Amino acid sequence: MLKFYKAKIHKMPPLPWIFFGTFFCLSSNLFADERLYTIKQGDTLWSISEEWLHNAQDWVKLKSLNNIENPLKLVPNSQIRIPLLLLKKGENLAVVEYVYGTVSIKNDAGEQRDVTLGMELFAGDEIKTDDASSVRIGYKDGSSSLLQENGQLRIDRIEFLNEKRDIQLNLQHGGINSKIKERKNNGSRFEITSPSAIASVRGTNFRVASDPLTQLFRTEVLKGSVAVSSQGEEQIVTKGFGIVVKAGQPPSPPSKLLPTIDLSNLPKLIQKQPIFFSFNPLDGAVGYRVEISKGNTFNQQIFSQVLNESKLSPPGLANGEYILRIFAYDVNGLGGEVAYHNFTIKIVENISPPELPKLIFPDNQILLEEKDFTFRWSESKRANAYHFQLASDEKFSQLLIDIFPFYFTQLSISDRLPSGNYYWHVAALDKNNKAKNFTGSRSFRILPHIPYLTKAQYVADNILFNWSKGKDSLQYRVQLSPTNDFSELVLDEQVSSTNYQLKFENMGDYFIRIFSVDTDGFISESSNIRHIRLSKPGALGQKLENIDSVTELSEF
């Protein structure tokens, strides 16, 4: 007999078959990648291929695999072998029903991505959960498995054929809670394997945890029964019992789980923060696992924590309905019976508007140099953020900066503000980032650029003075005096350029200085002062440093 197409389906599971009078069955004597089809009256190899195979032309392969002489004459109630690879691909055998936190998946081709709600899962997929993360897998028959935080699970097999279920999960580490629909004794299988042991069920509610560091495998049965096997030996664990298996050792007899915790004293309505729960400690407990789900059914787990005391304060719970689920751990690490508590959070929020902040810097009507600086204001109570505005007019109709929501109490400007008058104010924003009121405005002045006089030069019969440039709109005031206090001016002129040429008729000592003049007439501080002594003409282009011609004596 030819062994044909012994291969695994990697990306698509088999079709969920429903066909009256025809059935597939599992057989331990077949290859794991084949199924048996029972022939009914009137079947031909061609009709079977059209109904069940992805490619109907593969009837030739079935003919060869099963040594069929006449494909038109098949014996009713006899069976033929069909490789899984030839079957039509199905959908939604396993899907992600809920995901919380960071959960990733890697298929058997090595492709990795984030798990998303509604994602379909296949044999060969490997799922990992991070801290404070979980994912619930829903199966075609209504069963489900919840992989807890820091878990790693591989789906080895997932198939549904008529009333038969065949699911094999490999729990490499972490914990998994499963609720499995009960099936008739028809060869259905649900198994969770680990490096230490195997848990097999037909219909039950149970928890499994695998720890690769301690090489321990724990199973706790809350409903139904589970067969736990290791080293060729098997123990049946029934409701209310648990078992611990050490890698390389047979399972020990089951032990009684700790009872449920009394949560009757916990509040059903919570109306203020912080949220706090405290329950009576349970005799024999060495720790507690606390889980919280949104809604009135435990299908959206958002919180999970192991405690060593009987109290907790879960963070970040908004108004709404929740379920608290708690069970205790014994000295063997087995979790006990589960206690549930429904509660509602309805906290009346503070509707008072946020306080107005106080403006700190720049102060009102202050004069500032043309350089980088930082706006600062005080923190406002009940403020979620701030709204900052800077304008060139008192009515804030000509906004230069308008930022919101802004989450800090200081703002540095990366570009220097040019000279001129400015106005600024700040508003505190509420939780909806809406401003109630702005503070009163403050004004300040950026001073015009203070020119810097460079050394003079003798050009032809003139002396050329140059100075540094400010913004384009500035004018410059040039003053020349025979005295260093400028009490007597021989020149006082306003120009738009940054240089000036003078032709001197008389020899002697002169002092020169420059001012910047802003567009509104505001005058800057004086530049540095140059002291020039004229004795006789100098060479063309010569800097005035020669005492025998023109000497620049000092700068002050």
Domain with CATH 2.60.40.10 in the chain: 269-345, 359-446, 457-555
pLDDT higher than 70, residue 424: yes
The whole-angstrom separation of Cα 127 and Cα 147 is 9
pLDDT digits (tens, 9 = 90+) for 220-257: 999 988 999 998 899 999 999 999 999 899 998 999 99
Report the pLDDT averaged over residues 369-388. Answer: 90
410: pLDDT strictly greater than 50: yes
Cross-strand bridge partners of residue 547 = none
Q: Which CATH superfamily is 24-86 part of?
A: LysM domain (3.10.350.10)
**Has residue 274 got a pLDDT over 60?**
yes
DSSP state of 298: T
Are 293 and 341 in contact by the 8 Å Cβ rule? The answer is: no
Residue 201 has pLDDT above 50, yes or no: yes
Return the top range by mean pLDDT from 22-26, 37-41, 293-297, 431-435.
Answer: 293-297
**Per-residue confidence (pLDDT) for residue 195, from 0 to 100:** 86
- pLDDT in the model for residue 532: 85
Count of Cβ atoms closer than 10 Å to residue 239 Cβ: 15
Q: What is the pLDDT of residue 526?
A: 92
Higher pLDDT, residue 501 or 15: 501
Average pLDDT, the chain: 83
Q: To the nearest whole percent, how much of the chain has pLDDT over 90?
A: 44
Torsion of Cα atoms, 240 then 192 then 171 then 98, to 10°: -80
Identify the pLDDT of residue 89: 58
User: Residues 517-524: what's their mean pLDDT?
Assistant: 91
Greatest C-alpha distance within the chain: 134
* 455: alpha, beta or left? (left if phi > 0; alpha if psi -120 to 50): beta
- Residue 512: band (very low, low, confident or very high) from pLDDT cuts 50, 70, 90: very high
Q: Where in the chain is the domain with CATH 3.10.350.10?
A: 24-86
Higher pLDDT, residue 157 or 2: 157
Q: Could you tell me how many residues make up the chain?
A: 556
pLDDT at 350 over 50: yes
Does the pLDDT at position 31 exceed 60? Answer: no
Mean pLDDT within 382-409: 93
Query: Is the previous residue joined to 362 through a cis bond, with omega within 30 degrees of 0?
Result: yes
pLDDT at 432 over 90: no
Residue 16 has pLDDT above 70, yes or no: no
Does the domain at 359-446 match CATH 2.60.40.10? Answer given as yes
CB 26 within 8 A of CB 166: yes
28 or 306, which is more confident: 306
The pLDDT of residue 299 is 82
269-345, which class in CATH?
Answer: mainly beta
Dihedrals φ, ψ of 64, to 5°? -70, -40
Tell me which of 13 and 452 has the higher pLDDT.
Answer: 452
What are residue 541's phi and psi, to 5 degrees? 75, 0
What are the φ and ψ backbone dihedral angles of 61, each rounded to 5 degrees? -70, -40
What is the topology classification, in CATH, of domain 457-555?
A: Immunoglobulin-like (2.60.40)
* pLDDT at residue number 18: 25
Give the model's confidence band at 544: pLDDT under 50 very low, under 70 low, under 90 confident, else very high. very low
Read off φ and ψ for residue 36, nearest 5 degrees.
-100, 135
* Cis bond before residue 354 (omega within 30° of 0): no
> Tell me, what's the pLDDT at 202?
66
